[in-house]
Structure formats: C-alpha cells, structure tokens
Structure 1
Amino acid sequence: MAASQAVQAKLSFLFKAANTQFASCPELSNFYLHQFQKTADHANVPLADAVQRLCCARCGALFVAGINCKVRINSIDASKRRKTPGRCRNRVRITCHACRHPTVTNGSTTTLLKAVASPGLSVSVAPPVDVPTGKKTKKKKLDLQAMLNQKKAPSPSSSSFGLDDFLSSL
C-alpha cells in the first residue's frame, strides 16, 4: 500500500532527526525513532529490513554497536542449517542495552556471497596470519635483545644529547 506524501515526509523527517540528535541527546533520538515506528505501523507502511535492523523494535533506540547495544554472531549447527531456507551459517543477535530486547537476524547466505563475488569483482580476503615457529621467535627475541644492548651502550661519536640524556638530567 502506497503511503501519502505527508506520511512519507513525516517518516523522512523523524528518521533524519533521530540520526542527527543521537550524538547530542540519545533520549530525543529514541523518541523520534519510536514515533517513526508508530507512524509507519499506523499508516501500514512496510519498512525495509535494513531500516528495521537500525533500531530496537521495543524501545526505539538507534543501534550503535558498543555504545548502546551488544552485537554477537552465533553459529548454526550443521543439522539445523539444512532445515533453514537459504542455508545461513550464522545469526546476528543485537541486544539493546536500554530494554535488553534481543533482535535476531540471519547472517549472510552462501548464495548471497556468491552473487556479490561476481566475475567482474574481486573479493579480497586477508591472508591467514602465520604463527611463528620456535626458531623464528627465538631469532626475533635475540634481535630485540641485541637492539636493546646497542641502545644501552654509550656511543663515543655521539656528542649531541638525546631524549634519555635530557630525562636523566632532570
């Protein structure tokens, strides 16, 4: 059902006002988002999934990870994964700090990831970090010790004062 221009303008204003007021007054931002949700419900305006994931369904708080919500990624067992449509490997759980309401959404599906990685686009994945072996760590340790010993040894050719000399004179 198409919404009237007045309802669309009101929803646009409330959403923009909530985003701009979050830094200065989070309570006012929560109020604007709550009004945004109520207006969308009364006007029977379907909200996009991306917009619904931005705020708490219960109290209207704008989700900012680490500030007012906790984000956790929970993996799905292989037996349950076969039963879910789209075969999601994980679920994203966002817990609001204000009302403790969890919002659970499906993670990325393998078909979505394949669609994103089309032949024209290259998806770069960070190479795995090599775990140093015993010989390498021992060599690094010896190198660091040698550097420290060189720094501690006084150099006769250096006539200028360094930061260590200045601090030791205080």
Structure 2
Amino acid sequence: MAASQAVQAKLSFLFKAANTQFASCPELSNFYLHQFQKTADHANVTLADAVQRLCCARCGALFVAGINCKVRVNSIDASKRRKTPASRRCRNHVRITCHACRHPTVMNGSTTTILKAVERPGKGAPLASPVATPPPGPPAGKKKQKKKLDLQAMINQKKVPTQSSFGLDDFLSSL
C-alpha cells in the first residue's frame, strides 16, 4: 500500500534524524528509529530489507557492528542446504545480536548461485580481485631522495641568520 506524502516525509525525517543523532546521543537515535518502525507499522508501509537490516526489530537500536551489536556469520551444513530449494540455498546465516536488548536478528547470507557467479565469472576466466590496487606512484628511490633534499633545505634555512632579533631560538634561550 502506498503511503501518503506526509507519512513518507515523517519516515524520512525520523530515519535521517536517527542516523545523525547516533554519534552524539544513541538513546535519542533509538527513540527516533523506534518511532520510525511504529509509524511504518501503523501506516502499513512495507520497508525494504536493507532498511530493516539497519536496526533492531525489538528496541529500535541502529546497528553499528562492534559498537552496539555483535555480528557473526554461521555456516550451514551441506546436508541442511540440500533440503531447501535451489533458488533459496544459502551457505551461511548472518546473526546480529543487539547489545541493548540481546535480541538476535538472523538473516540469510549469499545464495549459492550468487556465490558461484562471483567465484567463476566465465570458463577459464581468472577471478577478479575484490580489492582495488592503488595506482603506481613514483619510485621509492625518488621519494627518499626528495625527502632528503627537503630535510637539507630545512636545515640550511635554520643555519641562515634571520634579520628578526626575536625568534623562537631567542625566546627559548630567554627562559
């Protein structure tokens, strides 16, 4: 069911407010998310899975791994996987436990068909590296040489007497 624009605006405000207030006042953030969930329920708005995964269903806490929740990936035995239809087979479950209310949220991990597509993009094709390699920079020898020249220039500047009679050395020597 489509929500009215007023409900959509309220949901948008509550969600943005919860995200911005999390760092300064987590309790206020939890309150905003709880109100967000209640408003969505009363208006019969179905939230996207990605939005539902961001917060605890019981207390409304915003999930930030390591800060206010614990995330574990539990593998599923192959014998249990075979019992489910091929379109819904998962190799693992992601279990998020809220620190505030200890409520576990269990979500399916990647399906086996998606994992196979990622592992083998084509016959004989090498696996793509998930980590981007940094662009090549100047050779290490030139960096060292530049640092050395910069340090020598700084030392030479310090040796040159300044015309100002009151410098940092004068101040420190007067103490």
Deviation at 1:115, TM superposition (A): 5.1
Q: Could you tell me how far apart the structure 1 residues matched to 2:26 and 2:8 are?
A: 23
Corresponding residue for 2:97? 95
Q: Secondary structure at the match of 1:62?
A: coil
Corresponding residue for 1:76? 76
Q: Could you tell me how far apart the structure 2 residues matched to 1:49 and 1:107 are?
A: 13
Q: Could you tell me how far apart the structure 2 residues matched to 1:47 and 1:65 are?
A: 21
Corresponding residue for 2:3? 3
Instruction: Tell me the amino acid that sits aligned with residue 111 of structure 1.
Output: T
- Aligned structure 1 segments of 4 or more residues deviating by more than 4 angstroms: 114-119
Corresponding residue for 2:161? none
Corresponding residue for 2:168? none
Q: How does 1:7-18 map to 2 (within 5 A)?
A: 7-18=7-18
Paired residue total: 126
Per-residue CA distance 1:107-157 (angstroms, 9 max, x = gap): 0012223556766xx63157xxxxxxxxxxxxxxxxxxxxxxxxxxxxxxx
Q: Could you tell me how far apart the structure 2 residues matched to 1:15 and 1:84 are?
A: 35
For structure 1, the residue ranges without an aligned partner over 5 or more in a row are 127-170
Q: Could you tell me how far apart the structure 2 residues matched to 1:111 and 1:10 are?
A: 38
Corresponding residue for 1:113? 115
Deviation at 1:87, TM superposition (A): 1.2
1:116–1:44 Cα change, 3 Å: farther
Q: How does 1:146-165 map to 2 (within 5 A)?
A: none
Identity of aligned residues (%): 90
Instruction: Tell me the amino acid that sits aligned with residue 99 of structure 2.
Output: H
TM-score normalised by L of structure 2: 0.67
Per-residue CA distance 1:89-115 (angstroms, 9 max, x = gap): 000000000000000000001222355
Q: Could you tell me how far apart the structure 2 residues matched to 1:114 and 1:42 are?
A: 41
Q: Secondary structure at the match of 1:92?
A: strand
Q: Could you tell me how far apart the structure 1 residues matched to 2:19 and 2:116 are?
A: 33
RMSD: 2.2
For structure 2, the residue ranges without an aligned partner over 5 or more in a row are 132-175
Instruction: Tell me the amino acid that sits aligned with residue 46 of structure 2.
Output: P
Q: Could you tell me how far apart the structure 2 residues matched to 1:116 and 1:4 are?
A: 40
